[in-house]
Structure formats: structure tokens, C-alpha cells
Amino acid sequence: MPELPEVETIKRGLEKCIVGRKINSVHILCEKSFRGKPELIEGQVISRIDRRGKALLIRLENNLTIMVHLRMTGQMIHDGLERFAAGHPDESFHEKMPGRFTRVYVDLDDGTHLFFNDMRKFGFWSVMDDLDLASDKFLTKLGAEPWDMKAEDFWGMLQKHSNSPVKAAILDQHNIAGVGNIYADEGCFYAGILPWRKCGDMDREESDKLLEGLCKVMQASIDSGGSTMKDYVKADGTRGNYLEKFAQVFRREGCECPRCGSEILKTRTAGRGTHYCKGCQK
């Protein structure tokens, strides 16, 4: 779920409500969801929040970092005056906390709480010091942030993976950071490229357009507020899926392509559900 724009949305939201707060106590409801020693973060003040790819980095004043991976179904929820909830968008955003999918939560010194919900238990919190961070396999091998990546390097990456489908290459976090299934499909649509094209069959112009597309769709998602719970109510008063705001192809199989009017289809590429327009992606 949470891909780069959703994690960035969480970062920005939490900056407003938990930076400067002290962690009074830690509650671990699922052992698998928490790595490291919880007592090391109790009594510590949250100094800042960073993000690398899909990883959220909560920095503490004792120089420790809580690295959060939301994986498929993770959510971060803060129960301040206004509830802030972001991550995997489902109805549990609105449930009473801690809820049936709450795996970890902390009590803060202003009486509020930060909850980590994760239905499928793939995500986790990890307490790390500088040495842990410097040797972490995920962080050290992570590719560049999309907008920091040079077109030349993106092109080189495609050459290196000439035998892979384009979608597999951009989903691989070693190659470029933060792209997940939604933005892979949306980026390919933007560039007019079929997701299963071999990287080696692409020309330089297509490569540049794809990188531009990934940057643009992710930036647009961040600008629209990612997946916060309170920002989107449709005209008829019902709550809309935040994807409806900007997705052109993702989960729109059977709909008309907004660009050429052809039908949006769904298939499978790189082991993932893949959405594309049969008319204007080549």
C-alpha cells in the first residue's frame, strides 16, 4: 500500500503532531511487529521525522531511530484533537484504537497515542542506532529517490536489466526508491509504455518519459494529500477512495481511458496485477 507518496504524507502529518513529544511507554501487541528493545525508546523525545523510499525514520533525542516499514497493510494513526490516519486505506482508519489490527502503540506525554495497525503483519517497527542504520541491507541498497535520479542513470539501469519487464525493474527498490504497484502502472501509462515491455527494447526517449512520469504521478499524489482519512468526501456525501482523485488506470479495468477512450484492461506482469490502456500504451 503505502508507497512513497503515502509514506511522505505520513511523514508530513506526523511532523505536525508528534515531533517534540516524549514517548512515555510502548505497547507491543504482536511480537513480530517490533524489532529491538522497546525500553530504549521509552522516555525519549521525538526530534524529527525523515523518509527514505517507503521507509519512515522517526528520530529520537538519544540518537536512536525507529525505522517503520508499512509493507502491504500498515497504517499510522495519531489520536490528537483531529485524528490523523494514513497508510493502507481501509475502514479501520475510523475504528476505536487500539483496534483489532493494532500491533504496536506508544503513549505520548500530551495524552495522545501513536498507533501502528497492520492487518497482514508484514510491516514492523525497528529500533536502530547509527551502526544498525549504516549496515541495514534495505537502506544501504536502496536506489535513489525518483527526483534525485538522473535521466542518464535511469537509462543505464534499464540497460542493466535489459531482459526484465519494465515494470519489474521499477518495482525493484534497489533500482529506484519508492515505486510500488500503483505508481508503476500510472508511470507506464503516463509514458505510453506497456508494463511488460523488456527494458532492453526501450529507447532513450521512452526511458526519459518514464522517469518523468514516475516523478509526476508521485508528486501529484503527495500534493493531493496522499491517503489521509479526512480529505476526500464526494459530492454525494459518501467517502471516496483516494485513488479516484488521480489514478488513470489503477483499478480502473473496464473503464474508458481518460486519454484515448479505449478500454482499460487488467493483466498480470512481474507477478502483480497490472492495469493498462490497450489503445495508447505501446
Partner DNA sequence: CTAGGATCCTGTCAGC
Partner DNA sequence: TGCTGACAGGATCCTA
The interface with DNA within residues 66-95 (CB under 7 A) comprises 69, 71-72, 87-89
For DNA, give the closer residue by CB, 48 or 266. Answer: 266
Give me the least distance between CB of 61 and DNA, in Å please: 27
Q: Is the peptide bond before 98 cis (omega within 30 degrees of 0)?
A: yes
Q: Give the whole-angstrom CA distance, residue 214 versus residue 183.
A: 7
Secondary structure of residue 229 in the 3-state scheme = coil
Give me the least distance between CB of 219 and DNA, in Å please: 16
Check binding of 163 to DNA (CB under 7 A).
yes
In one-letter notation, the amino acid at residue 239 is: R
2 catalytic, yes or no?
Answer: yes
243, 215 contact by CB (below 8 A): no
> DSSP states of 39-90 as a string?
GGTTTPBEEEEEEETTEEEEEETTS-EEEEE-TTTEEEEEESSSEEEEES-S
Candidates 173, 219, 224, 248; binder of DNA (CB under 7 A) is: 173
Q: Which listed residue (21, 52, 54, 209) is catalytic?
A: 54
For DNA, give the closer residue by CB, 11 or 69. Answer: 69
54 catalytic, yes or no?
Answer: yes
Show the site string, 107-136: x = touches DNA by CB under 7 A, - = not.
Answer: ------------xxxx--------------
Give me the least distance between CB of 205 and DNA, in Å please: 21
> DSSP states of 115-176 as a string?
EEEETT---EEEEE-HHHHHH-HHHHH----GGGS-HHHHHHHHHHTTTSBHHHHHH-TTTS
Secondary structure of residue 32 in the 3-state scheme = helix
Q: Which listed residue (3, 6, 186, 206) is catalytic?
A: 3
Phi, psi of 197 (to 5 degrees): -55, 140
Check binding of 54 to DNA (CB under 7 A).
yes
10, 76 contact by CB (below 8 A): yes
Candidates 13, 53, 146, 195; binder of DNA (CB under 7 A) is: 53
Residues designated as active site: 2-3, 54, 272
- Interface contacts to DNA, rule CB under 7 A: 1-3, 6, 32, 53-54, 69, 71-72, 87-89, 100, 119-122, 137-138, 160-165, 168-169, 171, 173, 180-182, 199, 227, 241-243, 251, 268, 270-273
